[in-house]
Amino acid sequence: MRILIRAGTSIPSGFPTWDQLNLRLLKGYLAQERFSSDGKDRLGSDQIPELAQKLYTTLGREGAVDFVRVAQKTRASGAFEKLLAEALYCGRSIGQLQLRSVHRQIAAMARQKTPIYTTNFDPLFEKALAESSDAGEWLEHRHPGAGRFPAIQHIHGWVDPDGHTEGDVILAESQYFELAARPLALANTKLLEVFRGPLDAAGFPVGGGSLILGMSLSDANLRRILYFLSLGSLENAGPIRAVIQEDDPLLLGYADKHWRSRGLDLIPVRKFAEISTILRDIRYGVPADGQPQAWIEDSARSLKGIPIFDNGWQDQKHHRLAELRERIRTLFAIHNEEVVQLTFFVPLQPHQLGAGVKSISPEEYRKSQYQLYPILSSRKCRTGEAAQTYAADRQHNVNRGTANLIAAAAFVTGNIEQAFDDGGGDETGVFGPFKRDWRSALAVPMLARGEWVPSAVLLLTSNVAEPFWRRFGDRHDRYFSQLINEIDEAARRVLVS
């Protein structure tokens, strides 16, 4: 199988949509045009947003980039590329780019020799590969033959935060026109390779299936290739599937009918975060409903050797959670009336608890399936024996199709889940039957490096229905990312023996 990835996987990490990119380029260009040669301000800064929107409407969705690109040719060399980099990254460095679960799942698949192609300009997948254990610098995964794993292949070139570009950076309308007239252009041959496979020693395509991720299917070059595939004029193409974010059944019915005529099957998801779960199931296989997750053994393996129910371990790690709680209170200026707590969950088999599982036979006791258990809390420091009893009374089912509690849902999906008892938040996250003193919860999974399967969950709870992380206002993205990073770093420190 080969995977083709487009902008939908980068947008959750702070990159712009196509409309946003066009408007940013137009605003950047107009900001440079404000002053005439004699220094007079001929365009007020307050006029720029409205004029940019009017220009976008006049030039059209595909023509705005061409307008800026041609206009920038009169400026210094590389002026357009720098303007493009600013529109893409908004001043962020490579180190400041936030990875999502989908990027790490793609990195794990690349490590297993799955060919990865992208029309994105950013290095998120290269960064995810480098983040894997002992995987070198991110630049090694951009150039074929430079690293131990196959490089991420950028069909439309790439753009770095400083404006440095390589390859044919393709995003303007005129460039798509040129591609239609140049069948041997690299972007065309690579796109065909996605669907037919590379050529073997005899010069024939290797075939196999293709999966498209993060695409609206509005890309002109992609649609052209799919059209010719549907006519049968491009031989040896394997099955093609595309994951799209859509939950309107009526719309899906018509869209599915159209794309089936182009030889493409749609896989609808309700939200973008579900893609990482699909990728993990592709790697490991899909168990039947009610059966253990196929990747659960790899998850549990990352915990081996950690003395979870040792008195000293419980004491040390409780203090780490308590320190994180106080850091969060200070960092985000939480009011005294709001009480926040942290609970740490890991997958274990009941026989690893030693207590609370007395009603089954010794054989069943040894073979019992993994469940998710709370082993540590910032509320109270427990002895190892008390922690075992506490965990055994509060198991969360994580088998296929059964994860209906918020911590279990975060563990199974590998994605952040939220729940609020005012009716808001994510519907998949529910509170469960346990006695509690909180009204809102944020569950953050920790993924084991390398294979990037969920290995633990840190649950942050609040006693108010409108918790502090819902009150970040216009700084929500920045502060929420900071909160998640603090939780993730603390979770990793907990698992260091």
Give the type of residue at 51: L
What pLDDT digit, counting tens, does each position of 191-211 carry? Answer: 888 887 776 676 666 767 889
What pLDDT digit, counting tens, does each position of 414-429 carry? Answer: 888 998 875 444 434 4
What pLDDT digit, counting tens, does each position of 38-72 carry? Answer: 556 666 777 888 999 999 999 887 788 989 988 88
Residue of 149, 150, 216, 221 whose CA lies nearest to 189: 221
- Judge whether 154 and 121 are in contact, CB under 8 Å: yes
* Residue 317: predicted pLDDT: 94
By mean pLDDT, which of 107-116, 117-126, 268-277, 282-291 is the weakest?
A: 268-277
Measure the CA dihedral 258/283/246/60, to 10°: -70
What pLDDT digit, counting tens, does each position of 297-330 carry? Answer: 999 888 888 899 999 999 999 999 999 999 999 9
Cα–Cα dist 266/244, whole Å? 7
Give the type of residue at 209: G
pLDDT at 290 over 70: yes
Please give the span between the terminal C-alpha atoms of the chain, in angstroms, as a whole number.
Answer: 39
* Residue 45: predicted pLDDT: 73
> Please, which pLDDT band fits residue 407 given cuts at 50, 70 and 90?
very high
Q: What is the mean pLDDT of residues 436-444?
A: 87
> Please, which pLDDT band fits residue 430 given cuts at 50, 70 and 90?
low
Compute the Cα dihedral for 193, 197, 203, 204 and give only its sign: negative
pLDDT at 82 over 90: yes
- Greatest mean pLDDT among 32-36, 237-241, 265-269: 265-269
Cα–Cα dist 393/105, whole Å? 33
* Residue 217: predicted pLDDT: 61
Q: What percent of the chain has pLDDT over 90?
A: 34
Compute the Cα dihedral for 155, 161, 166, 170 and give only its sign: positive
* Residue 1: predicted pLDDT: 84
Q: In the chain, count of helices (H) and strands (E)?
A: 17, 13
pLDDT at 474 over 50: yes
Cα–Cα dist 137/115, whole Å? 19
Residue of 434, 455, 297 whose CA lies nearest to 372: 455
Q: Could you say which DSSP state residue 16 is in?
A: P
Domains of the chain plus CATH, in order, are: 1-285 (no CATH), 296-494 (3.30.450.40)
Average pLDDT, rounded, for the chain: 83
Rounded to 10 deg, the angle between the 101-111 and 124-131 helix axes is 70
* Residue 410: predicted pLDDT: 92
What pLDDT digit, counting tens, does each position of 215-258 carry? Answer: 766 666 677 777 766 666 556 667 888 888 777 788 888 888 88
> Please, which pLDDT band fits residue 136 given cuts at 50, 70 and 90?
confident
Cα–Cα dist 152/140, whole Å? 10
pTM assigned to the model: 0.79
What pLDDT digit, counting tens, does each position of 360-397 carry? Answer: 455 554 456 899 999 999 999 999 999 999 998 888 89
**Residue whose pair of structure tokens reads 């030039």 in the numeric block:** 59
143's tokens: 């150039």
- Greatest mean pLDDT among 134-138, 223-227, 233-237, 489-493: 489-493
* Residue 175: predicted pLDDT: 84
